[in-house]
Amino acid sequence: MSFVEYGDTIKDGDTAIVFLGHESMFPVKVQHGSVTQTKYGVIRHSTDLIGKKYGSKVTCSKGGWVFILHPTPELWTMNLPHRTQILYSTDISIITMMLELKPGSIVCESGTGSGSLSHALIRTVAPTGHLYTVEFHQQRAEKAREEFREHRVEHLVTVTNQDVCKNGFGVSNIADAVFLDIPSPWEAIGHAKSALKAEGGRICSFSPCIEQVQRTCLAMEESGFTEINTLEILLRVYNVRTVSLQIPDLGKAAEDNSSPGFDSSSPSHQGSSCANLQQGTVQFKSGVPLREVVGHTGYLTFATKS
């Protein structure tokens, strides 16, 4: 099992996703002799998981069943243990596109946090690229290294425990892109410029407050970055429902019936007569937005090293 390479069979030591429903799933580390409790009963790793194919339907001890899914960065984002606030797939998708990432790209990231974006970046730059990620907090950095080893992507990522604002990323003139998710990104712009390749590298800074964005943009401009722009991604979810609406009575058929020379027995008038009698409702599918919509998460500021 690897987050960048698909494996058909569940093996001892794998990280798998137990899928109970679209709103209920969780990760589990598969270990010989271990058991996992669910609301449908017990899952025994030795007999129910190891050796089975990913995507299998597993029956629990109470008779209910779950699916066992192969992990992906998207599923990991939805299920990872939160050590910090994380980025979700909506922002991650625009970040990977706007930074122009591809297999073979070299990326610098700070801070690592819970590793949500890190896993997506690793999958994007694999198999020949590399991620250099910097985390200020020592315990979070150690936990990130442990997860990367368990997910078998440690050869694609280097985790460094240091202050990026003071010590930088530990590399110079090799990065195709830099991503900043720190409280004071303007203090790291100079180090980001040093880490980027000589020309054309891209940078992205994520900040929740517009005051942070203003100071970051000024620092980017002073450091010679061009094409500076800030955007915000807002996700609006719709529920598909069956809606009933009353058929409107426009009165046209009634006027035709009362007009001189109207013959209800005439075939030409039978259709309008039937339409007039069909008073009621009609049902159709419609998209209805949620009453409560998740609003602002953060601003994404992009720029290019000229």
Could you tell me the two tokens for 53?
């194919």
Asked if residue 294 lies in contact with residue 235, where contact means CB atoms within 8 angstroms, the answer is yes
64 belongs to an annotated ligand binding site: no
Asked if residue 154 lies in contact with residue 139, where contact means CB atoms within 8 angstroms, the answer is no
256 belongs to an annotated ligand binding site: no
User: CA-CA distance, 285 to 300, in Å (whole number)?
Assistant: 36
Q: Tokens 């069979």 identify what position? A: 9
For the chain, counts of helices (H) and of strands (E): 9, 15
156 belongs to an annotated ligand binding site: no
Which residue type is seen at 202? R
Q: What is the C-alpha radius of gyration for the chain, rounded to an integer number of angstroms?
A: 28
286 belongs to an annotated ligand binding site: no
Could you tell me the two tokens for 108?
């610098």
Could you tell me the two tokens for 269?
């008038």
116 belongs to an annotated ligand binding site: yes
181 belongs to an annotated ligand binding site: yes
Residues 6+ apart with CB under 8 A from 62: 40, 41
Asked if residue 28 lies in contact with residue 150, where contact means CB atoms within 8 angstroms, the answer is no
Q: How far is CA 154 from the centre of its chain?
A: 22
Could you tell me the two tokens for 246?
């009353």
Annotated binding-site residues for S-adenosyl-L-methionine read 114-117, 135, 181
